[in-house]
Amino acid sequence: MPDKGHLDRVKNGRQGSVRSSVGPCSEIGAVWRDAKRRPSPGARHNDREREREKRLSPISINGSGDAPRRASVSVRPIQIHTGSPPLNSASVTSPLFATSPPNSALFGSPPAGSAHSGGRSLTASHSFSARVGKALAPFPINESPVKILLLENVNTAAVDLLKAQGYHVDEIKSALGEQELITKLREGGYQAVGIRSKTKVTAKVISEVPSLLVIGCFCIGTNQVDLIAAAKAGIAVFNSPFSNSRSVAELVISEVIALSRQLCDRSREMREGIWNKVSKGCWEIRGKCLGERARLQIVGYGHIGSQLSVLAEAMGMSVLYYDVMPIMPLGSAKQVDTLDDLLGAVDFLSLHVPELPETTNLISDAQLNLMKDGAYLLNNARGKVVDIPALVRALQSGKLAGAAIDVFPSEPAANGPNFGDALNTWATELRACPNLILTPHIGGSTEEAQSMIGAEVGSALIRYINYGSSIGAVNFPEVSLRPILSDGTVRLCHVHLNQPGVLKIVNSILGEHNVEKQFSDSKGDTAYLLADISHVGEAEIKEIYEAISGTRSNIATRMLF
């Protein structure tokens, strides 16, 4: 009968839990534990007892507060490195566990004068006390951890998660320019980079950093990353599409109230010593407003728009929304067919759409002229969605009674007195407009939102690095398999061109082996395949890797175990 510890591990594995009980399996540090390797005959337990002890007593590395159960598991690991081999070690060359970017580029550079055949140097050491997560014993933490660079003050929730996996995490509080980023990533040999909204990961960065495996955007938007170039290079990009939804929705509600009561103007006047107690042009948002019920128009009814809808209705507002897709409303909100038909009927227009060619200057002179006199515009989406000079004209003429802007076409790379005409030529004119709320892109800047974003994106990076799961990737086919629960099984992660005949070639290579499970999907020109192969040894793993990574359609290939 299976022991309770084993059943618990199987249960956890089926649930796909990655939170903290996952041990990492990476292309730069993996251990193949051959079933034939046994402790010496002089050990005090017999074979059966030793095997049971190895299953039940790993050192648990987790963040859930569980007390670790100690055991020393002696194995002979294969440690991959990109620098000079350590002393007293036998070096061999192999492309095992590698991610093979286009043109067979390597992670880092091989040691000077070393021989290699399209792979990276492997060092065979003699003993290693493996630290294993409770759920997935085949994924031990290796002596050569994955290297991750986090920029722009990524929340500590992500840092803690990643470090708990045994990854090497470096942090930089500010954004980096293009060349600075290239230099830092290349010199550090990083496999993953985490950014927020200011750092730009361009096609040049992607092409010049062959070690890069995955990008984490610790925010909603991904327009700061060249998604097409990343997909072509086999690099998955993850973001956090809803973790800051509540924070942004609450900011919008606060802006609606502040605008309707002209709070910013009254506050500025008081700071200047002016007492100006007036009620003209100030309104309640519940009940009557501008001659009818206060109406909030939401453009984009996704995670943020729907949250805003619920909050607005709770405060007595009626909600209309426009979206390019038919979406079931929450509460009493009503969807309309076109944007133009609605502009003249609403008091508050709030934008929540992505930055796309179709949404650039979505609100310009024509749309502003269709809005009712005395209406309000709120943009907490993307800076290029609103034509700012047109907005300035509407505010100066009195067409709009006020506006709230949290995002801008060009934003400073760092805090400080940087929001001026040198960055945006209309900045001075905009700042002089009446009843205007300007904020420095703080929609998701709350402790709660940043913690949830850190946990969400951090977990996505872990799932991709450890298991090859691309669920949630914005530029990649979404593919996942349940975790490996047995020794002697290797996972193939194969990114390839979306072309006819590729699976036929791959399956002909895998046909001589026992494929336990396999899943493939495609998105645009990129396809992604995961396959678990059991009962294979080191020589067979190397053979499979070389055959598949050598196909003409190959973009990137990893093998995890």
- CA 132, CA 113: separation in Å to the nearest integer? 36
Which tens digit of pLDDT belongs to each residue from 468-515? 999 999 999 999 998 876 778 899 999 999 999 999 999 999 998 999
Q: Is residue 340, in this structure, part of any structural domain at all?
A: yes
Q: Is residue 488, in this structure, part of any structural domain at all?
A: yes
Strands 514-523 and 526-534, bridge-based pairing: antiparallel
Residue 95 pLDDT exceeds 80 = no
Last residue of a domain, one of 438, 465, 484: 438
Residue 93 pLDDT exceeds 80 = no
- Residues 399 and 412 grouped into a single domain: yes
- Residues 407 and 501 grouped into a single domain: no
Q: What percent of the chain has pLDDT over 90?
A: 50
Q: Evaluate whether 399 touches 371 at the Cβ level (below 8 Å).
A: yes
The candidate with the shortest Cα–Cα distance to 240, out of 453, 445, 441, 444, is 453
- The domain total for the chain is 2
- Residues 110 and 163 grouped into a single domain: yes
Question: For residue 294, what pLDDT is reported?
Answer: 54
- Residues 394 and 457 grouped into a single domain: no
Mean pLDDT of the chain: 76
Q: Evaluate whether 244 touches 352 at the Cβ level (below 8 Å).
A: no
Question: For residue 150, what pLDDT is reported?
Answer: 98
Last residue of a domain, one of 417, 438, 459: 438
Which tens digit of pLDDT belongs to each residue from 97-106? 433 333 322 2
Residue 185 pLDDT exceeds 50 = yes
Pull the structure tokens for residue 357: 């060619």
Q: What is the CATH number of the domain that holds 153?
A: 3.40.50.720
Burial of 48 (0-12, 13-18, 19+ CB in 10 A): exposed
Q: Evaluate whether 413 touches 178 at the Cβ level (below 8 Å).
A: no
Last residue of a domain, one of 438, 458, 475: 438
- CA 132, CA 9: separation in Å to the nearest integer? 12
The candidate with the shortest Cα–Cα distance to 350, out of 307, 286, 291, 390, is 307
* Catalytic residue ranges: 382, 411, 441
**Phi, psi angle pair for 160, to nearest 5°:** -65, -40
Look at the pTM and tell me if it is higher than 0.75: no
Cα distances (Å, whole numbers) of residue 399 to 63, 365, 376, 377? 55, 11, 9, 11
- 543: containing domain: 4-240+450-560
Please tell me which residue, 37 or 199, carries the higher pLDDT value.
Answer: 199
Helices 156-164 and 447-467 meet at what angle, rounded to 10? 30
- Residues 181 and 127 grouped into a single domain: yes
Which tens digit of pLDDT belongs to each residue from 434-461? 999 999 999 989 999 999 999 999 999 9
- Residues 174 and 188 grouped into a single domain: yes
Cα distances (Å, whole numbers) of residue 167 to 145, 146, 160, 164? 5, 5, 10, 7
Q: Is residue 299, in this structure, part of any structural domain at all?
A: yes
